[in-house]
């Protein structure tokens, strides 16, 4: 009892003197790490395009970032700076500087900005490594939670390779696992640095677990470095694709000795399908490199292996089909954008986006021709015609629509011609139907008529 009391007194003395903090890290080490990174913190206030209920709006949000070079390159999240018309940054010394978006990568949720300044001596962060992280290491999450700039939270690395499941139709960073931490990451922290006690950035804060306390996730800096370098050099990230959708080996067998990764699906429009790759195959190697994913945590590495192959390269893909090993020759194609470009069509009162291969495949289309309706304004011309979110417009008056730019030209000509009626060929799910658009009257008049009618909100989203 006396020994326990003595230990408690010693621990209390250490804590009150500032010698010990979470994870056994000294307060002085925490302060040194914070001091090395804090001058390079950036509070980001982008003005983003937001498309909602058939309208395009500009809204200001808040996020975080950090300077990585003396001439003003800044790293943040794609969901912070992507689709931004204007970005304003507040530096640690409260100086306000505008920035341009150099490039974004939705697949890893990363973006690079460039401060519009002539300064070449800005304070910047030192980037560390994430491949040698261990659970239990003390880390700092820095940024602007809830818009509160220059904030620091302390915690530990909970897991070094957390795999996050896909959310419906959206892949959650398919090419990397995540650093999980209990250092508080809240809305506004996105894009800020996760820092070790050496004052090195070892991750980019990106998301939190909704409904849980202190369960946050950061993008490993080793992955981020590759993306950052390519964006600065090329303005974008190029990846290869062979049409594969992969699952871990546990989906196919309980045998722990079985190597490979399961091919769950193959896009019928892809080069992999053309070369003979089929759902149910067990992929054993790609370009001579073994592909093993016993558990879900192994899937990002296999996807990245394929993505890193030069676009247009012919590669051997070895698969196990039944009891037979087969070698296929596959020519890689460029992976399409994760998000299609979106636009507002104000005269008809709706918004639309380019089709991605994933959307075309779900709709069982043979190509990505057409556009996807993302919303229609209540009372507008499109709304009154019955056009609704999720519709795919394939034809306009017998003109096959290639993409959003093509539709915009056709639609613009129709608006100028004031043609009274326009017939659309529309697909929604498994059903195809015709939609008759009546161009008589403008959007405001249609909205007024809708407001005075008793027909109800048949197309409310």
Contact 136, 187 (CB under 8 A): no
Residue-wise pLDDT tens digits, 263-274: 999 988 899 999
pLDDT at 7: 44
Two tokens at 116?
Answer: 């519009």
Backbone angles phi, psi at 442, to 5 degrees: -100, 180
pLDDT at 255: 87
Q: Say yes or no to pLDDT of 168 above 60.
A: no
Integer Cα distance of 197 and 140 in angstroms:
8
Q: Say yes or no to pLDDT of 3 above 80.
A: no
Contact 22, 138 (CB under 8 A): yes
Calculated CA dihedral for residues 103, 172, 251, 286, nearest 10 degrees = 10
Cα end-to-end span (Å), the chain: 66
Q: Say yes or no to pLDDT of 445 above 50.
A: no
Exactly one of 43, 64, 109, 151 is catalytic; name it: 109
Q: Report the DSSP beta bridge partners of residue 141.
A: 153, 194
CA 373: distance to chain centroid? 21
Q: Which helix (H) or strand (E) holds 76?
A: strand 73-76
More confident residue, 303 or 450: 303
Q: Say yes or no to pLDDT of 18 above 50.
A: no
Which of 154-163, 209-218, 343-352, 376-385 has the lowest average pLDDT? 209-218
Integer Cα distance of 27 and 15 in angstroms:
9
Give whole-number Cα distances, 374 to 88, 248, 349, 399, 460, in Å: 28, 33, 11, 21, 12
Closest CA to 107 of 80, 81, 78: 78
449 confidence band (pLDDT: 50, 70, 90) = very low
Residue-wise pLDDT tens digits, 173-188: 899 999 999 999 999 9
pLDDT at 58: 83
User: What residues have CB less than 8 Å from 168, skipping those under 6 apart?
Assistant: none
2 confidence band (pLDDT: 50, 70, 90) = low
Which of 16-25, 213-222, 415-424 has the lowest average pLDDT? 16-25
429 confidence band (pLDDT: 50, 70, 90) = confident
- CA atoms within 13 Å, Cβ hemisphere of 72: 17
pLDDT at 86: 85
Integer Cα distance of 370 and 355 in angstroms:
7
Q: With pLDDT > 70 as the criterion, what percentage of the chain qualifies?
A: 89
Q: What is the mean pLDDT of residues 8-19?
A: 44
Contact 250, 258 (CB under 8 A): no
Q: What is the mean pLDDT of residues 313-333?
A: 96
CA 217: distance to chain centroid? 14
459 confidence band (pLDDT: 50, 70, 90) = very low
pLDDT at 166: 66
Of how many residues is the chain composed? Answer: 461
Closest CA to 27 of 140, 129, 134, 125: 140
Which of 58-62, 108-112, 382-386, 450-454 has the lowest average pLDDT? 450-454
Q: Report the DSSP beta bridge partners of residue 46.
A: 87
The one-character DSSP state at 193 is E
Two tokens at 89?
Answer: 């940054």
Average pLDDT, the chain: 87
Exactly one of 64, 130, 151, 190 is catalytic; name it: 190
22 confidence band (pLDDT: 50, 70, 90) = low
Contact 67, 125 (CB under 8 A): yes
Please return the burial class of 405, using the count of CB atoms within 10 Å of its CB with bins 0-12, 13-18 and 19+.
exposed
| Residue 271 designated active-site | no
Residue-wise pLDDT tens digits, 363-382: 888 888 999 999 999 999 99
Exactly one of 79, 151, 248, 285 is catalytic; name it: 79
| Residue 79 designated active-site | yes
pLDDT at 98: 96
| Residue 120 designated active-site | no
* Domains, the chain, ordered by start: 37-115 (2.40.10.10), 127-234 (2.40.10.10), 240-334 (2.30.42.10), 342-452 (2.30.42.10)
Give whole-number Cα distances, 414 to 252, 341, 393, 422, in Å: 53, 22, 15, 8
Integer Cα distance of 133 and 222 in angstroms:
11
Contact 217, 177 (CB under 8 A): no
- CA atoms within 13 Å, Cβ hemisphere of 179: 37
Integer Cα distance of 222 and 360 in angstroms:
33
CA 154: distance to chain centroid? 26
Q: What is the mean pLDDT of residues 412-436?
A: 92
Q: Say yes or no to pLDDT of 141 above 90.
A: yes
User: What residues have CB less than 8 Å from 409, skipping those under 6 apart?
Assistant: none
């Amino acid at each position: 009892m006396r020994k326990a009391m003595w230990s408690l007194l010693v621990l209390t003395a250490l804590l009150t003197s500032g010698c010990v903090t979470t994870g056994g890290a000294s307060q002085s080490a925490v302060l040194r790490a914070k001091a090395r990174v804090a001058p390079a913190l950036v509070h980001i206030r982008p003005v983003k395009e937001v498309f909602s209920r058939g309208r395009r709006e500009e809204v200001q949000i808040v996020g975080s970032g950090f300077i990585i070079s003396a001439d003003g390159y800044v790293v943040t999240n794609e969901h912070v700076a992507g689709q931004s018309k204007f970005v304003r940054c507040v530096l640690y010394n409260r100086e306000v500087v505008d920035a341009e978006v150099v490039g974004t990568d939705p697949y890893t949720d990363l973006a690079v900005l460039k401060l519009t300044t002539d300064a070449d001596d800005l304070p910047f962060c030192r980037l560390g490594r994430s491949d040698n992280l261990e659970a239990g290491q003390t880390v700092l999450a820095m940024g602007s939670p809830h818009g509160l700039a220059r904030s620091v939270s302390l915690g530990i690395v909970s897991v070094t390779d957390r795999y996050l499941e896909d959310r419906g139709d959206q892949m959650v960073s398919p090419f990397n696992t995540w650093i999980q931490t209990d250092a508080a990451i809240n809305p506004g922290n996105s894009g800020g640095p996760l820092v070790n006690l050496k004052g090195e950035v070892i991750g980019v804060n990106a998301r939190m677990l909704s409904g849980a306390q202190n369960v946050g996730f950061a993008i490993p800096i080793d992955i981020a470095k590759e993306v950052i370098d390519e964006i600065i050099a090329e303005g974008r990230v190029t990846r290869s694709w062979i049409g594969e959708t992969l699952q871990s080996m546990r989906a196919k067998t309980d045998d722990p000795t079985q190597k490979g990764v399961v091919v769950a699906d193959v896009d019928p429009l892809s080069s992999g399908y053309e070369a003979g790759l089929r759902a149910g195959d067990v992929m054993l190697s790609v370009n001579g490199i073994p592909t093993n994913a016993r558990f879900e945590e192994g899937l990002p590495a296999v996807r990245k292996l394929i993505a890193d192959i030069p676009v247009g390269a012919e590669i051997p893909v070895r698969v196990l089909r039944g009891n037979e090993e087969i070698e296929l020759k596959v020519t890689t194609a460029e992976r399409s954008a994760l998000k299609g470009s979106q636009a507002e069509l104000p005269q008809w009162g709706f918004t639309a986006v380019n089709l991605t291969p994933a959307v075309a495949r779900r709709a069982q289309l043979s190509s990505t021709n057409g556009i996807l309706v993302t919303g229609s304004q209540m009372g507008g011309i499109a709304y009154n015609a019955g056009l609704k979110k999720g519709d795919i417009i394939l034809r306009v008056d017998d003109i096959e629509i290639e993409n959003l730019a093509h539709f915009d030209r056709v639609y613009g000509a129709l608006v100028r011609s004031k043609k009274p009626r326009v017939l659309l060929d529309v697909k929604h799910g498994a059903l195809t139907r015709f939609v008759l658009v009546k161009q008589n009257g403008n959007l405001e008049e249609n909205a007024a008529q809708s407001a005075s009618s008793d027909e109800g909100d048949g197309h409310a989203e």
